Amino acid sequence: MSPKLLEKPTDSISQYQKLQALAQNQKKDAIEQKALGVHIVENDENKRSYELFASEASGTSDAQWVLKKVKVQFFSENNSSFTVMGEVGEIDGTTKDMIIRGEVLTTSTNGYQFKTDSLRYTAKDKIMNSTDAVYMQGPPDSKGSGFQLRGNGLRVDIRNNKMEILSQVAASKSIDNKKFNLTSQTAEFYNSSQEALFMGQVRMVLGESKIEAPRARFFYSNLQKSLERIVVSQGVRLVEKDKIATCNELEMDLVEDKMTLRGNPKVQQGEDEIRGQEIVFLEGGKKVKINQVNVTGQRKPEK
């Protein structure tokens, strides 16, 4: 005999069906409603808060709505700021809070994309949160693809058009045909521009340069649509081949291929040490320009 399984295992019940059952328990005495091809516009202070589309919905007006194949456009100052898509969703009929689950994709107006397993929206604060692992794809620029990033935890502030990765950030990108890698504790991105900020134990590797600092900010050219400058600050250590440099701020100008060290800059190479008010590496480090130079080192013996 070969036994046959006549009942579906519990795990095979779709997430949508599970949420429907949960909503059924929470619906009090109200009449349950079902709809296909759902379109909802939520207003806040006479302005659009969000616009929602779903292939199917069931629930009650005073409890939980369960949605299938969800797409939500969130608005900031009545302009579309973020679009969120997922397999299923839940809306609290009273608070208008929302949870979206299943291959959730959040896209900003300027092209940042975040993938998570779930996302929670709080209507009162206009904040979206996720505690899941996050994969981010940054918008492309004129020189190629944008940042690829992994981290944990996502926070999206719709009012201020700000996106945050909350921990364990690891990012990579190609810059001028050089592989660039970065790790940090947190990261911030902005919907109004492509500017990015990395904070907390920032470690960067670009070609042969290794940089450590508490903070790194990336600036993009609005005209050229490309990464223009990287400013690393609050105590910088740079290692490149046999050179070790320290300063308070390091500016990397990717357009002119130069690095400028400011704030007590010091460069050590072997037993030689260079100090100055400002030290500039030109042509990828082939030339050095020093303002108010102070050079120390051991004099080589005469032959």
Average pLDDT over residues 31-45: 79
Residue 138 included in any domain: no
Residue 164 included in any domain: no
Residue 17: per-residue pLDDT: 65
Confidence of residue 57 (pLDDT cuts 50, 70, 90): confident
Give me the DSSP letters along 96-159. --EEEEEEEEEEETTS-EEEEEEEEEETTTTEEEEEEEEEEEPPPBTTB---EEEEEEEEEETT
Residue 273 structural domain: 208-297
Question: How confident is the prediction for the chain on average, in pLDDT?
Answer: 84
**Is 160:184 a contact under the CB 8 Å cutoff?**
no
Q: How far apart are CA 184 and CA 199, in angstroms?
A: 6
Residue 193 included in any domain: no
Residue 235 included in any domain: yes
Residue 254 included in any domain: yes
The answer to whether residue 78 scores a pLDDT higher than 90 is no
Residue 302: per-residue pLDDT: 42
Alpha-carbon distances, residue 263 vs 128, 283, 287 (angstroms): 39, 22, 20
Residue predicted with more confidence, 27 or 143: 143
Tell me the percentage of the chain whose pLDDT exceeds 70.
82
Q: How far apart are CA 86 and CA 287, in angstroms?
A: 53
Residue 288: count of CB within 10 angstroms of its CB: 15
Confidence of residue 2 (pLDDT cuts 50, 70, 90): very low
CA-angle at 86, arms to 83 and 87, nearest 5°: 155
Residue 167 included in any domain: no
DSSP element (H, E) containing 16: helix 15-26
User: How many domains is the chain built from?
Assistant: 1
Summarize pLDDT for 198-243 with one digit per residue, the tens: 999 999 998 888 999 999 999 988 776 788 999 999 999 999 888 8
Residue 128 included in any domain: no
Q: How far apart are CA 24 and CA 59, in angstroms?
A: 7
Domain holding 274: CATH number?
A: 2.60.450.10
Place of tokens 């911030």: 188
Tell me the percentage of the chain whose pLDDT exceeds 90.
49
Residue 22 included in any domain: no
